[in-house]
Each structure stands twice: as structure tokens, then as C-alpha cells.
Amino acid sequence: MLLSGLDEAANLAANAGFIAETLDLEHVDVVVAETAEDTTDRGGAAMPFAPSVVFS
């Protein structure tokens, strides 16, 4: 699976509307851990195929 070329961030971003609607959220922001957009300091908790999810 790790070599399949699956882009987790792109997949989550493409489905952000569905995720937001399902969880009754206004919107969902998808950010890659340990980048400038990640302001949660939880990047170390994310693993391949087990993303870290933060509700705020």
C-alpha cells in the first residue's frame, strides 16, 4: 500500500465537503503535517494511512 502512490492529503482534500457535511462542520481544512500551514504541533502523531485529525 505504501508504494501505491496514494496521495492521502489530496484524497482528504477532495472529500473535505463530504467530511464536513457528515461531521456537521462548517468546513474542513487539510494540511500536511510539519508544514507552515500546520499550526497544531501535532504532526508527529500522524502516520501513513492514519492521519491526525484536529477539530477546532
Q: What is the pLDDT of residues 12-23, one digit of tens each?
A: 889 999 999 999
Q: Is the pLDDT of residue 6 over 90?
A: no
- Whether this prediction's pTM lies above 0.95 is answered by no
The arithmetic mean of pLDDT across residues 9-38, rounded, is 86
What is the distance, to the nearest Å, from the Cα of residue 40 to the centroid of all Cα atoms in its chain? 12
- Name all contacts of 45-49 with Cβ < 8 Å and 24+ positions apart: 48/2, 48/8, 49/1, 49/8
Which pLDDT belongs to residue 24? 94
Structurally, the chain folds into a number of domains equal to 1
Give the single-character DSSP code of 36: T
Domain hosting residue 42, numbered range: 1-56
Task: Give the span between the Cα atoms of 39 and 2, in whole angstroms.
Answer: 26
More confident residue, 1 or 45: 45
More confident residue, 42 or 8: 8
Q: Is the pLDDT of residue 7 over 80?
A: yes
